[in-house]
Chains A and B, each alone.
Chain A
Amino acid sequence: MTENVATTIRSSEPAFKVTRSRRNVAWSGIGAIAAIVVLFAFPYYVGPGTTGIMVQGLIVLTLASMWNLLAGYAGLVSVGQQAFFGLGAYFVLIPAMHGITPWAGLVIATIGAGVCALPLWWLVARLRLGYFAIATWVLASVVMLVIEQISSIGGGTGEPLPGLTGMQPAVLTAYTYWAALIVAVLAIGGVYFLLRSRVGLVLTAIRDDERAARSSGVRVGLARLLVFVVAAAGCGAAGGVLAIEQLQVVPGTSGGVFSVQWTAEMAFAVIIGGIGTIEGPIVGTVVYMVLQQTLQSYNAWYLIVLGLVAIVIALFARRGLWGTVDERFNIRLFPVGYHLWAPGERRGRKRVPAHAAQ
């Protein structure tokens, strides 16, 4: 995971080096693969109750990664991602009602949600930060209202998901879990590789100074559109997983797929975990799951506590839990930046003040 680019400044000077990461990340790469393998094996030695909880966590993890991509890297604070989440669920439901298995429906959900993002982006693209936030909320409401008009897919009351009735419960739980895990891994992996690519560099440039980026020829609007579409697709996939997990799709703002509470969960998870880092959403989702499980019997308290913690962290520890750790110890499990090494400097725990991006 390292590339060396030798740049000679003067012929008599030793070369500067630019690498993608501070230290050798082969270990964290192996660690990640090991973790995924372990997670994959869960259904074999863990009960269905736990895998059910894991599925919830993986859904929120996917959503959080997407919201982090939007807000942390592209500067787009969307309070309307529940629109794509719900659309994803319906994109699994509708094909299932016509005989297409929900597992294939997941792919349709991902692509469908991404496609739906295009006209919605056109409506809100020009809006500034705060207006953009509420406008996405309005759009989500519009999407929900439109879908509730269509009685053939359940209208306002929801519709059960066909196509999975023949399976044994234990097998279904395992398949659902694996689907959720695959979606989450693809989501995080997708974000990671997106940010390591040219697009990631463009996003960092925009984040640092939009005007300067524009004057350098960066296609700001296009980059944001791409991020918006990718995030929509990711949320759509997560919505599809939810449809499979719940075996029904219910619209509506209280507990339904179009509830703003999904956005609340993903946003708070990102803020608490650390916005603008790929590891942040993972940490944040863990915090969210812990809170949700401990406060489960107290109904909506976990959201209240989650909100309070998010506000406190936003005000006093802006970089979130992971961000604070990263600042102290300079750990990057998912390196997406560039590091400049002065000639003769060796890799290690030494801090390099001039690193270009996060």
Chain B
Amino acid sequence: MAWVNAIIQGILTGGLYALFACGLSLMFGVMKVVNLAHGDLAVVAGYIAVGVIAVTHMPVLWTIPVVVVLMAIIGYVLQRSVIQGAISRGELTTLIVTFGLSIIIENGLQQFFTANSRGLGVGDSFVTASFSIGSQITIAWLDLGIFVLAVIVLLGLQQYLSLSRYGRLIRAVADDREASQLSGADYRHVFGIAAAIAFGTVAIAGICEGMITTISPTLGTDTILLFAFASVVIGGLGSLWGTLLGGVILGVAQAVGAQINPSWEQLAGYAVFLLVLVIRPQGLVSQGAQ
């Protein structure tokens, strides 16, 4: 039964991974930018939440909308200024710039917050509260809640991209930048919106991470970025449900690995990632070319 619990836990964690991953996937799909600072943005969001709570003493869940809006604005500004400048100068420059941002953010956080990890308290009762199915399966409310939140966000994003005006613009620019310019779209503005969405979603994910465990300055590149990338590769680019599937598979692989040997948790996930990379590099749910 421990296995079933582990697998369920893995599925729930996978939702969070998918939430981390969708921003990375969006930025790559729309702008062809692999944002190496993506993981660090989640950590930044977590620290902003820590700061907001310290100043306003509001409950953690209320910080989510505040931080999301803040991060979305930061994302838009950063995209229109620095990242756009890098995009117009080539892929190498873009990688260097995002890598540079990642290093700056991490070391900056370490300078100001020390290397210690921090948690976002949700109230002890909520963190440990769980319910049971049958006599042997236990599920924590918090984990389930985060999974549901992740699915809602992904669903909302999917609807937004399909139905809203900006969603169509984003898809148009992603498909064919020049053609969309002919139709009057300002692709730089659309890129900014896409970046804002990416920053916003990763902010939600970062705060959730702070709620279930802790965040530390190096978490962004130690695990978050790599897990997000693994989820995207396993699931396949171009489909948010693929990203969810990828995240879930990664989470389950990690949970199963941890059951076999606790120190194999991350390795098990990466093993599946490497397997998919070799056997089916376009991902399990692929829509066209990589």
Q: Which of B2-10, B83-91, B147-155 contacts A (4 or more CB under 8 A)?
A: B83-91
CB pair A314–B100 under 8 Å, yes or no, is yes
Min CB–CB distance B261 → chain A (angstroms) = 9
A75 to B67 alpha-carbon distance, docked (Å): 38
> Is A292 on the interface with B (CB-CB < 8 A)?
no
CB pair B28–A315 under 8 Å, yes or no, is no
Min CB–CB distance B247 → chain A (angstroms) = 15
B residues near A130, Cβ cutoff 8 Å: 28, 32-34, 91, 94-95
Cβ < 8 Å to B, chain A residues 13-71: 71
Q: Which of A137-145, A161-169, A187-195 contacts B (4 or more CB under 8 A)?
A: A137-145
> Is A6 on the interface with B (CB-CB < 8 A)?
no
Min CB–CB distance A60 → chain B (angstroms) = 15
Cβ < 8 Å to B, chain A residues 119-171: 123-124, 126-131, 133-135, 137-138, 141-142, 145-146, 148-149
> Is A264 on the interface with B (CB-CB < 8 A)?
yes
CB pair B277–A135 under 8 Å, yes or no, is yes
CB pair A310–B33 under 8 Å, yes or no, is no
Say yes or no: A311-B96 contact (C-beta < 8 A), given A126-B281, A137-B225, A142-B274.
yes
Q: How many residues of A contact B (CB 8 A)?
A: 45
Min CB–CB distance A157 → chain B (angstroms) = 13
- Contact count A vs B, C-beta below 8 Å: 125
Q: Which of A198-206, A218-226, A296-304, A340-348 contacts B (4 or more CB under 8 A)?
A: A296-304
> Of all chain B residues, which has the CB nearest A316?
B85
> Is A77 on the interface with B (CB-CB < 8 A)?
yes
Contact with B along A261-299 (1 / 0, CB 8 A): 100100110010001000000000000000000000001
A residues near B99, Cβ cutoff 8 Å: 79, 133, 264, 267
> Is A254 on the interface with B (CB-CB < 8 A)?
yes
Say yes or no: A138-B93 contact (C-beta < 8 A), given A145-B266, A307-B104.
no
> Is B270 on the interface with A (CB-CB < 8 A)?
yes
> Is B108 on the interface with A (CB-CB < 8 A)?
yes
Say yes or no: A138-B270 contact (C-beta < 8 A), given A129-B95, A253-B218, A315-B89.
yes
Say yes or no: A301-B93 contact (C-beta < 8 A), given A131-B34, A264-B99, A315-B86.
no
Say yes or no: A308-B278 contact (C-beta < 8 A), given A129-B91, A134-B225, A137-B225.
no
CB pair B100–A307 under 8 Å, yes or no, is yes
Min CB–CB distance B4 → chain A (angstroms) = 26
B residues near A137, Cβ cutoff 8 Å: 36, 221, 225-226
14 contacts between A and B (CB under 8 A): A126-B281, A130-B32, A133-B95, A135-B277, A141-B222, A253-B222, A300-B111, A303-B104, A307-B103, A308-B100, A310-B96, A311-B97, A314-B100, A318-B93
| Nearest 6 CB-CB pairings of A with B | A130-B34, A300-B107, A311-B100, A307-B100, A307-B104, A307-B103
